[in-house]
Amino acid sequence: MLGAHEVLSEMSITRREFSRLGALALAAQAFPSVSGVAQGADRRVGYCVIGLGRIANHFLRGVAESSTSKITGLVSGHRGKAERIAQQYGVPKSSIYSYEEMDRFRDNKSIDAVYVALPNSMHAEYTIRSAKAGKHVLCEKPMSVAVSEAEAMIAACKANNVKLMIAYRLHYEPITLKTIKMIRDGAIGTVQAFDSSNGFNIAPGEWRSTKALGGGGPLMDVGIYSLNAARYLTGEEPERFTAVASTIDHDGRFNDVEENLSWTMRFPSGAVASCSTTYGAPMPGYYKVFGSKGWLEVASFGYQGQHLRASYSPGGRGTPATTVDETNPEQDPMHFVRQADHFSRCILENQTPDTPGEEGLRDMQHIQSIYRAAGISMG
């Protein structure tokens, strides 16, 4: 029987450096020696996956296609399942751990980093335990279920001299990077407004609809994509919030958390954002940005198929428009390949990840503000 540790999410900038846009062919690069990472002909970072649910499967398949990373350990509450996965990815049985004995992997030199793929409320505990064991941490989003937890995670990683990256996979996806660059380069002019939604009709019995494991409702799970996108697209942190939440379906799924939530944000520049998220209806993810010279839109926060459309007039109002219609042809699990490659490169080159713990902390702070505006207690 699978415990809560095994039931994982299906969905789940600071200002980005765009010079890294094409820097993903890492196999041929010569990485400098970094303390704690095995060196030699096979200079790949070894990952221990903590939690073997649905999203972990995407990461496992992604690492299998990576030239910079490999799976070297597993943590699971289900030994039989772990052994089957270990055989598939070439992990020795001696590198399989239960949750209770996980701290023993401190002495496993084949494990350089961990991927925390557990329900939200468990992220802090297992990030901190991993940091104390001297392992770098790639943690799924949302970073935690409380601002104080996020702060403790950052502190633990700094105290133990390990890197912390939050798994915002879209920050490494080409269409997303192109969209950010277009806005930064002024293609659509001054950003005026941002509109976004993301949600789905949740099945009964999901851990994410419980306060104890999910920490909140759809805002924590899928609404965070809209929040994070508004931040990395405007390049600003929101300063004012309004929000309203509702529950329409009283069928037992929403005894702990809200079903629907809509919120607005104002940024220091004056740009405004309007976002919605739900656990009660199919709500395909998208964002649209309106600027003084035009607009752009990206459909899908999913694991593949990001589609960019844009129309803007470089010369300003009344001049001929430029149009863009482009889809990322890459298939799942390429997002996870790019994400693992980035973190592995940061470990090998002793660099700070583009989505460090501080990025996750900022989202937690804003989620707290949104919940407060909606009259919902967080944590």
The catalytic residue positions are 141, 225
For residue 187, report the phi and psi dihedrals to the nearest 5 degrees.
-55, -40
| Rounded Cα gap, residues 48 and 50, in angstroms | 6
CB 231 within 8 A of CB 237: yes
Residue with tokens 């030699």: 40
Could you count the other beta carbons within 10 Å of the beta carbon of residue 282? 8
Closest CA relative to residue 60, chosen from 76, 80, 41, 77: 76
**3-state helix/strand/coil string of the chain:** CCCHHHCCCCCCCCCCCHHHCCCCCCCCCCCCCCCCCCCCCCCCEEEEEECCCHHHHHHHHHHHCCCCEEEEEEECCCHHHHHHHHHHHCCCHHHEECCCCHHHHHHCCCCCEEEECCCHHHHHHHHHHHHHCCCEEEECCCCCCCHHHHHHHHHHHHHCCCCEEECCHHHHCHHHHHHHHHHHCCCCCCEEEEEEEEEEECCCCCHHHCHHHHCCCHHHHHHHHHHHHHHHHHCCCCCEEEEEEECCCCCCCCCCCCCEEEEEEECCCCCEEEEEEECEEEEEEEEEEEECCEEEEEECCCCCCCEEEEEECCCCCCCCCEEEEEECCCCCCHHHHHHHHHHHHHHHHCCCCCCEHHHHHHHHHHHHHHHHHHCCCCC
